[in-house]
């Protein structure tokens, strides 16, 4: 179940000596670095590998936008598409989308 997270809660998270993560939702985390930078992360497992994908920095990426990006990434990874691999190879991404399209038609 999703936690109700507010801007004031996020602003209250202060940096510590070492970076730390705050779990927001299933797979959605907010990492607070020792410098105070707050980064949205989506953590997931695919092919028995745990992966962590950055969704952007707070406040540039709002809470609702981070949840939206997490939802899009979750849909892809449930279709066995690893978006971290996709970022590396645009041609592979095109082939995967073509394969999905031809399966659905």
Q: Which residues are CB-neighbours of 35 under 8 A, at least 6 positions away?
A: 15
| CATH number, position 31 | 3.30.160.390
In a domain, 95, yes or no: no
Report pLDDT for 26. Answer: 83
In a domain, 104, yes or no: no
Mean pLDDT of 13-18: 95
In a domain, 2, yes or no: no
Q: Output the CA angle 97-103-105, nearest 5 degrees.
A: 105
Record the pTM.
Answer: 0.75
Spatial strand order of the sheet with 49-58 comes to 20-25, 28-32, 38-46, 49-58
Instruction: Provide the number of structural domains found in the chain.
Output: 1
In a domain, 74, yes or no: yes
In a domain, 96, yes or no: no
pLDDT tens-place string over residues 52-83:
888 899 999 999 999 988 988 888 878 877 77
In a domain, 34, yes or no: yes
Which domain range does residue 56 map to?
7-79
Residue 20: name the closest of 44, 36, 43, 3 by CA.
36
């Amino acid at each position: 179940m999703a936690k109700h997270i507010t801007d004031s809660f996020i602003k209250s998270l202060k940096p510590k000596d070492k970076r730390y993560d705050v779990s927001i939702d299933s797979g959605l985390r907010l990492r607070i670095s020792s410098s105070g930078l707050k980064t949205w992360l989506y953590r997931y497992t695919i092919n028995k590998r745990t992966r962590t994908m950055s969704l952007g920095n707070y406040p540039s990426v709002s809470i609702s936008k981070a949840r939206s990006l997490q939802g899009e990434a979750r849909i892809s990874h449930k279709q066995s598409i690893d978006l971290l691999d996709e970022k590396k190879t645009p041609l592979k991404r095109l082939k995967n989308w073509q394969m999905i399209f031809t399966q659905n038609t």
